[in-house]
Amino acid sequence: MLYNSHEVERDALMQTAGKMCIAARTAPKGKGVDQIVTAIVTGEEKDAIADEMEKIGEREKLDFFIRDAGNIRRAPVVVLIGTTVGQRGLSYCGFCGFENCGDQAKKGGRCSFDVVDLGIAVGAAVSVASDDRVDNRVMFSIGKAAIDLKVLDEAVKVLYGIPLAAYGKNIFFDRVKV
């Protein structure tokens, strides 16, 4: 049987995306509390996010949203990694800017552990992509559009998108507005 490069590369991108979700899940978490949510987006759902990114870019006059939308239209796969927010029940911390977890919960803040855990999870995920030699880039713009579209559970409050591609030249390098 003959497998053409397009099929093989698409399958490899999906395998890498799956391993990235595993890496995010198994990354260390503050106080052992796992608030991480992951998903893989392709096809129409991915294009809907790109459409929303373009709308945001035009509405808010943010050219990088439009540029990033062009990147994810060319990327066959996007990994989403986000976090829900909660508290760890600490009486002494204050990293979130509030006195303690109770004060933070009352005032609607975000636990710094959740945000730091998300950063560690994203770092673990992109290291997998790097190990697999898959071109990728962490994008806030994808996450913001996906939150606005309610692609994931509404409890996800902070979200990043990581498009994956395998071309002869990295499409996420030397980026220009398209």
Rounded Cα gap, residues 80 and 59, in angstroms: 23
Q: For 64-122, what is each residue's pLDDT tens digit?
A: 999 999 999 999 999 999 999 888 888 888 899 998 888 888 898 899 999 999 999 99
Q: For 74-84, what is each residue's pLDDT tens digit?
A: 999 999 999 99
Q: Which domain holds residue 145?
A: 5-165
The verdict on residue 172 lying in a domain is no
The verdict on residue 40 lying in a domain is yes
The verdict on residue 57 lying in a domain is yes
User: In this structure, what CATH number is given to the domain that contains residue 52?
Assistant: 3.40.109.10
pTM: 0.93
The verdict on residue 111 lying in a domain is yes
Direct distance between the N- and C-terminal alpha carbons of the chain, in angstroms, rounded to an integer: 38
Q: b/e string for 30-56 if b means 16 or more Cβ within 10 A? A: beeeebbbbbbbbeeebeebbebbbeb
Q: How many domains does the chain have?
A: 1
Nearest Cα to Cα of residue 35 among 90, 110, 106: 110
The verdict on residue 138 lying in a domain is yes
